[in-house]
Amino acid sequence: MAISKESMQFYQQTLEVTRKQIGELNTQIEEELARVKERLAELQASKNAAKQIYDGTCRILGIENDLEKEEEQSAE
């Protein structure tokens, strides 16, 4: 099936536009993923600091760290 010159130009332009859109979307996705990874790292650091405080407090009080026990059970 032969297509007209105008149709050929239309489809070529459509290819160029959508390729550009896909590239821009890929860039936005990568930027968003970088932000999410950074935020997750911040949250993990905060969690680790809180766990250290909790563990230290358990030691001072002479009680078992129940969070460690729960984490061990959930890992199994």
Q: What confidence tens digit (pLDDT) does each residue in 8-49 have? A: 999 999 999 999 999 999 999 999 999 999 999 999 999 999
The mean pLDDT of 3-10, rounded to a whole number, is: 95
User: Is the CB of residue 64 less than 8 Å from the CB of residue 58?
Assistant: yes
> Model's pTM, two decimal places?
0.69
Pair of tokens at residue 62: 């002479």
pLDDT at 72: 76
pLDDT at 69: 79
Dist. CA 3–CA 10, nearest whole Å? 11
Q: How many CA atoms lie within 13 A of 23 on its CB side?
A: 6
Domain ranges of the chain: 36-76
